[in-house]
């Protein structure tokens, strides 16, 4: 019979179960259950699926063309994804979720350059030239004493509102445009051709300020690090644009010889309508404000402009209103 020298066996080679051969007694402590290993938890998570991957597939086009995570966050916000929804994807907020989607998205193109404060180029100059036409035609027709100067100016003003709505790539809200035509026509009928000339002259500065606001908001969208940060930067820019346009409308009213109290609120109402249609917001609040302006009361246009200003600040402070469509 072969014998084994106990000192020739290394301690590590002896299994613990082989050393203890006696049966534990009834009073022996029960060993604790082993803790789950991290590898097993990861396996279970992988088995449960990758919800972020499913979201990435659902918004693949948005994620691939985005130039920064905030643009993805703006698109997710436009689709109704909130911070509570992001928590279901194991993220603290929408921006954190957008950062992961941006990091996991393939990039086939170089990031686009930041837009200038005022767009330039042949198309930009052509659009500005078209914006100058309503004021020039209305002023020339009124100076020549033509009876059709007022209706022609109203038609040109409404056309200037329709054009930005089409440029946004969304469906044309015909109800808002019809109500804008009714508001402008009713005001011109009450206050005369001078008011039509004032509104037509305000089209050009409104075009420039709307383009400058859109470009500035896009620049702030790329430089912000959270949705709240963008909102804090966009509101002063929007209020500055509204303030400058109010001054321009007052100057147009003085040139046309129409009362400021009648011209400025109406011009501001149409400018805010232009902004909302250009950025693709819902036309319902715009249509409601225009309907209020049709009420035959002196303060109707002022109340409608004030209400639409509040809604515009809330709507255009959201990043999704400036994401590329």
pLDDT in tens, 35-63: 444 444 444 444 345 777 888 888 888 88
Instruction: For residues 73-86, give the mean pLDDT.
Output: 82
Do 188 and 196 touch, CB atoms closer than 8 A?
Answer: yes
Which has the higher per-residue pLDDT, 226 or 85?
Answer: 85
Whether 320 and 78 have beta carbons less than 8 Å apart is answered as: yes
How far apart are the two ends of the chain, measured CA to CA in Å? 88
Q: Write a three-state SS string for the chain.
A: CCCCCHHHCCHHHCCHHHHCCCCCCCCCCCCCCCCCCHHHHHHHHHHCCCHHHHHHHHCHHHHHHCCCHHHHHHHHHHCCCCHHHHHCCCCCCHHHHHHHHHHCCCCCCCCCCCCCCCCCCHHHHHHHHHHHHHHHHHHHHHHCCCCCHHHHHHHHHHHHHHHHHHHCCCCCCHHHHHHHHHHHHHHHHHHCHHHHHHHHHCHHHHHHHHHHHHHHHHHHHHHCCCHHHHHHHHHHHHHHHHHHHHHHHHHHHHHHCCCHHHHHHHHHHHHHHHHHHHCCCCHHHHHHHHHHHCCCCCCHHHHHHHHHHHHHHHHHCCHHHCCCC
- For residue 88, give every residue at least 6 positions away whose Cβ sits within 8 Å of its Cβ, in sequence order, or none: 51
Residue 289: partners with Cβ closer than 8 Å, 6 or more residues away: 269, 272, 273, 304, 305, 307, 308, 311
**CA of residue 150 relative to chain centroid, distance:** 36
How does residue 229 score in pLDDT terms, banded at 50, 70 and 90? confident
Question: Minimum mean pLDDT among 84-93, 183-192, 267-276: which range?
Answer: 84-93
The CA distances from residue 133 to 127, 152, 201, 268, in Å, are 10, 11, 9, 19
pLDDT at 225 over 80: no
Cβ–Cβ under 8 Å, residues 164 and 171? no
Question: What's residue 129's pLDDT?
Answer: 67
Residue 101 in contact with residue 74, Cβ under 8 Å? no
| pLDDT tens, residue by residue, 240-250 | 999 999 999 99
Share of the chain above pLDDT 70, in %: 72
Neighbouring CB atoms inside 10 A of 73's CB total: 30
pLDDT for 121 equals 57
Q: Are 167 and 274 contacting, i.e. CB atoms less than 8 angstroms apart? A: no
Asked if the model's pLDDT at residue 168 lies above 50, the reply is: no
Q: Which residue has the higher pLDDT, 309 or 211?
A: 309
For the entire predicted model, the pTM comes to: 0.68
Are 186 and 294 in contact by the 8 Å Cβ rule? The answer is yes
Top pLDDT among 97 and 300 is at: 300
C-alpha 139/C-alpha 256 separation (Å) is: 8
């Amino acid at each position: 019979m072969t014998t084994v020298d106990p000192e020739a066996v290394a301690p590590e080679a002896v299994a613990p179960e082989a050393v203890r051969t006696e049966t534990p007694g009834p009073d022996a402590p029960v060993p604790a259950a082993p803790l789950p290993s991290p590898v097993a938890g990861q396996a279970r998570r992988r088995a449960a699926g990758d919800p972020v991957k499913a979201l990435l597939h659902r918004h693949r086009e948005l994620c691939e063309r985005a130039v920064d995570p905030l643009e993805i966050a703006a698109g997710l916000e436009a689709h109704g994804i909130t911070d509570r929804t992001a928590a279901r994807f194991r993220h603290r907020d929408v921006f954190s979720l957008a950062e992961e989607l941006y990091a996991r998205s393939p990039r086939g193109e170089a990031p686009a350059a930041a837009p200038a404060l005022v767009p330039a180029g042949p198309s930009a100059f052509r659009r500005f030239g078209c914006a100058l036409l309503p004021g020039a035609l209305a002023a020339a027709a009124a100076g020549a004493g033509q009876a059709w100067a007022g209706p022609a100016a109203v038609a040109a003003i409404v056309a200037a509102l329709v054009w930005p709505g089409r440029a946004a790539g969304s469906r044309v809200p015909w109800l808002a445009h019809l109500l804008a035509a009714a508001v402008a026509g009713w005001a011109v009928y009450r206050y005369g051709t001078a008011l039509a000339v004032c509104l037509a002259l305000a089209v050009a500065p409104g075009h420039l300020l709307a383009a400058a606001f859109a470009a500035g908001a896009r620049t702030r969208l790329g430089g912000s690090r959270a949705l709240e940060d963008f909102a804090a930067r966009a509101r002063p820019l929007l209020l500055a644009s509204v303030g400058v346009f109010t001054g321009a409308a007052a100057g147009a009213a003085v040139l046309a010889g129409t009362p400021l109290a009648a011209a400025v609120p109406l011009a501001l109402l149409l400018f805010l309508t232009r902004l909302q249609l250009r950025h693709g917001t819902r036309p319902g609040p715009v249509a409601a404000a225009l309907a209020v302006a049709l009420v035959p009361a002196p303060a109707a246009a002022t109340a409608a402009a004030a209400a639409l200003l509040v809604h515009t600040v809330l709507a255009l402070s959201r990043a999704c209103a400036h994401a590329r469509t």
